[in-house]
Amino acid sequence: MKVRPFSRVSATPGAPHGAQAGGLTGTLIGALPVALGLVAVVVLSEPGLSTTLRLALDGVLTMIWCLYLGQLIATALRRDPDAKGAMLLVDLAAVIVPLAALVATLATGADLGGPSLACGVWVLKLLRDSTAFRLVARVLANEAHNLIGVMSLFGIVLFIAALLAYAVERDAQPQTFGSIPQAMWWAIVTLSTTGYGDAVPQSFIGRILAGVVMMSGIGVFALWAGILATGFAEEVRRRDFVNNWQLVSAVPLFRQLGSAELVGIVRALKPRDLPAGAVVCRKGDAGDQMFFIVEGRVSVAATGAPVELGPGAFFGEMALISGAPRTATVTAASALTLLTLHAQDFQILLTNNPEIAETIRKTALQRGGAEPL
Ligand code: CMP
């Protein structure tokens, strides 16, 4: 049986483990031309470069531009409209912005920093391929309502602070607090607790006001940080849950579970990827978890001939049932995606699901006689 549980989510920010590894490699490969291009842009900004080096770096930029032109065409031809939108925008900017800068330079002769500077737009390519960026975008979208609320609070505090500072300080310092917009600069610098020191209240009341504004600033930013941290935690939990759900539904043993029990087991099981040849558990070791194979095969060095187990099978249950050490060494015969279940969660699973308990017990007995549950 070949399980393909990943196809639906592999392009989403929450790509499962196997797909994430591939995504990471893809991101690193995609980042190479960006890094090279940005280094060239930075070096080209040095005034004292030799003509040869300048030409060589321009050549590098031209090659990367051609590569991105190809990528733009490939993205435009993509069938998946969901994946296409933002990618197309980035790919378009990566080609159009340097081209427009080149045309503008040739047409007007104006020094806009040259087309090489415009290649700085390639930094967006890092966002295009970054799952982390997509995660940030989702968190911002999910929390937009709360963040806008805190921003409004920030605006209100800012306005009141500027108004009061103007009222209190304008006579003493007309050059820095002479208008509300001027006082607003002080309010922003104080509220953000940056404190450049270019505008400082002189009066006693002005300083008390400054203290209150600083403390309010800390409060507002703490609120922001709290909302974002909670948003991130929730998004990551949700993403992991969706991924785990797909992995768990690939294991036949769990298909008999009702949705409430399935939710519990999805939370308890942890995905794990292993390369071919990796030892999953060793004979004689203490066992604190059991394993469900989602994808790939393992070789169990059982007494007599080795036994191969494939997708949907489980192992490592005997040590959990009997409390004795592992009875065999289990090795990944191919690249492997497993779900692991810790001893405590294993007991809960068995208590709540007598049918699953029976299946696991029978299998353990067939394999070599772990004590009955
Ligand atoms: P455990 O003893 O916890 O760790 C090694 C695991 O290998 C064991 O649980 C079983 O799940 C599995 N195992 C042991 N013997 C066999 C066998 N003959 N056939 C299939 N699996 C086995």
Ligand 1 atom having least distance to the Cα of 320: 3
From 279, 282, 330, give the residue whose CB has the most ligand 1 atoms within 8 Å, as the site to mutate: 330
Q: Cβ(6)–Cβ(246) under 8 Å?
A: yes
Residues 6+ positions from 304 with CB-CB distance below 8 Å? none
Query: Do 118 and 221 lie in a common domain?
Result: no
Distance 315 CA to ligand 1 centre (A): 6
Residue bearing the CA closest to ligand 1, atom 9: 316
Query: Do 278 and 350 lie in a common domain?
Result: yes
Query: Do 195 and 230 lie in a common domain?
Result: yes
Six-digit token pair at 236? 């990551």
Six-digit token pair at 126? 């890092």
Q: In what order do the strands lie in the sheet with 298-300?
A: 279-281, 330-332, 298-300, 307-309
Cβ < 6 Å from ligand 1: which residues? 281, 287, 300, 302, 307, 315-319, 326-328, 330, 367-368
Residue bearing the CA closest to ligand 1, atom 19: 367
DSSP labels for 26-92?
A: HHHHHHHHHHHHHHHHHHHT-TT--HHHHHHHHHHHHHHHHHHHHHHHHHHT-S-HHHHHHHHHHHH
The confidence score (pLDDT) of residue 216 equals: 95
User: Is 12 a domain residue?
Assistant: no
User: Is 9 a domain residue?
Assistant: no
Query: Do 350 and 301 lie in a common domain?
Result: yes
User: Is 270 a domain residue?
Assistant: yes
pLDDT at 59 over 90: yes
Ligand 1 atom having least distance to the Cα of 303: 18
Closest listed residue to residue 283, CA positions, set 301, 260, 268:
301
Distance 255 CA to ligand 1 centre (A): 23
pLDDT at 52 over 90: yes
**23 against 366, higher pLDDT:** 366
The rounded distance, in Å, linking the Cα atoms of 217 and 220 is 5
pLDDT at 138 over 60: yes
Among 97, 129, 161, where does a domain finish?
129
Distance 319 CA to ligand 1 centre (A): 9
Query: Do 122 and 156 lie in a common domain?
Result: no
User: Which residues form the domain of 223?
Assistant: 144-238
- What would the mean pLDDT of 202-219 be, rounded to a whole number? 96
Query: Do 361 and 261 lie in a common domain?
Result: yes
The confidence score (pLDDT) of residue 304 equals: 81
pLDDT band at residue 2, thresholds of 50, 70 and 90? Answer: very low
The rounded distance, in Å, linking the Cα atoms of 124 and 121 is 6
User: Is 156 a domain residue?
Assistant: yes
Neighbours of 108 (CB within 10 A): 9
**325 against 353, higher pLDDT:** 325
Angle at 364 between CA 361 and CA 369, to 5 degrees: 110
Domain count, the chain: 3
pLDDT band at residue 127, thresholds of 50, 70 and 90? Answer: confident
From 315, 317, 346, 366, give the residue whose CB has the most ligand 1 atoms within 8 Å, as the site to mutate: 315
Q: Residue 233: what are its φ and ψ, rounded to 5°? A: -60, -45
Among 216, 238, 260, where does a domain finish?
238
pLDDT band at residue 257, thresholds of 50, 70 and 90? Answer: confident
User: Is 284 a domain residue?
Assistant: yes
The confidence score (pLDDT) of residue 3 equals: 38
At 86, which CATH number? 1.20.120.540
Query: Do 150 and 183 lie in a common domain?
Result: yes
Six-digit token pair at 114? 């040259």
User: Is 246 a domain residue?
Assistant: no
pLDDT band at residue 250, thresholds of 50, 70 and 90? Answer: confident
Distance 314 CA to ligand 1 centre (A): 9
Residue 172 C-beta-side C-alpha neighbours within 13 Å:
14
User: Is 231 a domain residue?
Assistant: yes
From 318, 321, 322, give the residue whose CB has the most ligand 1 atoms within 8 Å, as the site to mutate: 318
Ligand 1 atom having least distance to the Cα of 315: 11
pLDDT in tens, 297-316: 999 998 888 999 999 999 99
Distance 258 CA to ligand 1 centre (A): 28
The confidence score (pLDDT) of residue 15 equals: 42
pTM over 0.85: no
The rounded distance, in Å, linking the Cα atoms of 311 and 47 is 61
- What would the mean pLDDT of 8-33 be, rounded to a whole number? 56
From 281, 288, 293, 300, give the residue whose CB has the most ligand 1 atoms within 8 Å, as the site to mutate: 300
Closest listed residue to residue 15, CA positions, set 129, 144, 140:
129
User: 9-18, 96-105, 254-263: which has the highest mean pLDDT?
Assistant: 96-105
Query: Do 29 and 87 lie in a common domain?
Result: yes
At 198, which CATH number? 1.10.287.70
Closest listed residue to residue 367, CA positions, set 323, 312, 314:
314
Q: Cβ(370)–Cβ(322) under 8 Å?
A: yes
At 351, which CATH number? 2.60.120.10
The confidence score (pLDDT) of residue 23 equals: 57
Query: Do 210 and 288 lie in a common domain?
Result: no
User: Is 3 a domain residue?
Assistant: no
The confidence score (pLDDT) of residue 107 equals: 86
Residues 6+ positions from 108 with CB-CB distance below 8 Å? none
Query: Do 234 and 325 lie in a common domain?
Result: no
- What would the mean pLDDT of 355-370 be, rounded to a whole number? 86
pLDDT in tens, 140-188: 999 999 999 999 999 999 999 999 999 999 999 999 999 999 999 999 9
Average pLDDT, the chain: 87
Query: Do 56 and 163 lie in a common domain?
Result: no
Q: Cβ(94)–Cβ(115) under 8 Å?
A: no
pLDDT at 54 over 60: yes
pLDDT at 287 over 50: yes
The confidence score (pLDDT) of residue 24 equals: 62
Q: Cβ(361)–Cβ(328) under 8 Å?
A: no
pLDDT band at residue 19, thresholds of 50, 70 and 90? Answer: very low
pLDDT at 85 over 80: no
pLDDT band at residue 17, thresholds of 50, 70 and 90? Answer: very low
pLDDT in tens, 227-242: 999 999 999 999 889 9
- What would the mean pLDDT of 205-221 be, rounded to a whole number? 95
The confidence score (pLDDT) of residue 370 equals: 53
Distance 76 CA to ligand 1 centre (A): 51
- What would the mean pLDDT of 329-335 be, rounded to a whole number? 97
Query: Do 361 and 300 lie in a common domain?
Result: yes
The confidence score (pLDDT) of residue 84 equals: 65
The confidence score (pLDDT) of residue 10 equals: 36
Q: Cβ(270)–Cβ(340) under 8 Å?
A: yes
Among 129, 160, 178, where does a domain finish?
129
Distances (CA, A) of 225 to 189, 194, 211, 237: 19, 17, 21, 18
Distance 327 CA to ligand 1 centre (A): 6
The confidence score (pLDDT) of residue 6 equals: 34
The confidence score (pLDDT) of residue 70 equals: 94
